[in-house]
Amino acid sequence: MSVLIDADRWEELLEHRTGVFLGARSGHVASAVKRRMAQHGIDSDEAYWELLHGPDAGLEWSMLVDELVVKDTRFFRHRASFEFVRSHILKRLAANSAMRDYAIWSLGCSTGEEAWSLAMVANDCSKDSDGQMRYSVLGTDVSIRAVSECRKGVYGAQQLAQMTPDERTLYFSQVGRHRRVVDELRSRVAFNVGNVIELSSEGLKYDLIFCQNLLVYFRKWRRRRVLDAMVSRLKPEGLLIIGPGEMTKWNHPLLEYVGQGEVAAYQKIK
């Protein structure tokens, strides 16, 4: 007998906890819930609902979110945005040779490719400044499982497909059929579990906040709220980069739009 799934309440729960709104994709939600139920040998929608509301539901919730949200990510996925970051850092260094620190936050970093790509760009720029610029990268994602993969720093050929041979040689070591991020980068990059819809305006400030392919899952009013919170975490002259087309007709009194072509970038006014 087919298991009945109340897709509406699962969609509502997903949006309430993560901000993700899947709209008309009820079939996708029901299928994901059924797959997780099968993993636990549960044949009741209500029983799985109770499991997700139990005291030890954190990991299972993360597994369900992974089923629901497509995570198609690769190193340098949107190359133009990363080259924009490179140009921005080099201009900052040229204007201020005494700049010593550069802090980067990759929000919604999935399995880490975005954060590691940003570290590679920053490392290149640091070498151009004779190593005088120290940089740090923090990657944050709502998924416990994804953050675990980030910390391993081990990837297959598909994730590295958009990298140049020189980049692969410089920043990875061979581990069997996979490649592992080199220690030079690992010492500069950290990852944590966090929910972007709970983003606080208080806390560390960053020179760059990079958030692509995440806002597209939110309703427009929530996108604005999340972006406004990001602005509060930028340093003066800090840069915010989002995905092309993820947010239109949005502006902030403390930001100037500095994007070019397909790159959606904003700089904080002093």
Tens-digit pLDDT profile for residues 83-102: 999 999 999 888 876 678 99
pLDDT for residue 117: 98
pLDDT for residue 55: 81
Give the CA distances from residue 193 to residues 55, 148, 223, in Å, rounded to whole numbers and listed in that order.
18, 9, 20
Whether residues 87 and 149 fall in one domain: yes
Whether residues 32 and 103 fall in one domain: no
Residue 204 lies in a domain: yes
Whether residues 117 and 32 fall in one domain: no
Whether residues 115 and 191 fall in one domain: yes
pLDDT for residue 25: 60
pLDDT for residue 257: 94
Residue 231 lies in a domain: yes
- pTM, rounded to two decimals: 0.89
Q: Which domain holds residue 64?
A: 7-68
Whether residues 110 and 29 fall in one domain: no
Residue 73 lies in a domain: no
Whether residues 252 and 223 fall in one domain: yes
Give the single-character DSSP code of 2: P
pLDDT for residue 180: 97
Whether residues 230 and 160 fall in one domain: yes
pLDDT for residue 1: 44
Whether residues 179 and 92 fall in one domain: yes
Residues of the chain with pLDDT under 50: 1
Whether residues 166 and 113 fall in one domain: yes
pLDDT for residue 26: 58
Question: What letters, b where the CB count within 10 A reaches 16 and e where it falls short, cover 106-144?
Answer: bbbbbbbbbbbbbbbbbbebbeebeeebebbbbbbbbbb
Whether residues 162 and 63 fall in one domain: no
Q: CA-CA distance, 270 to 258, in Å (whole number)? A: 14
Whether residues 16 and 64 fall in one domain: yes
Whether residues 239 and 147 fall in one domain: yes
What domain count does the chain have? 2
Where is the domain boundary, 68, 95, 111? Answer: 68
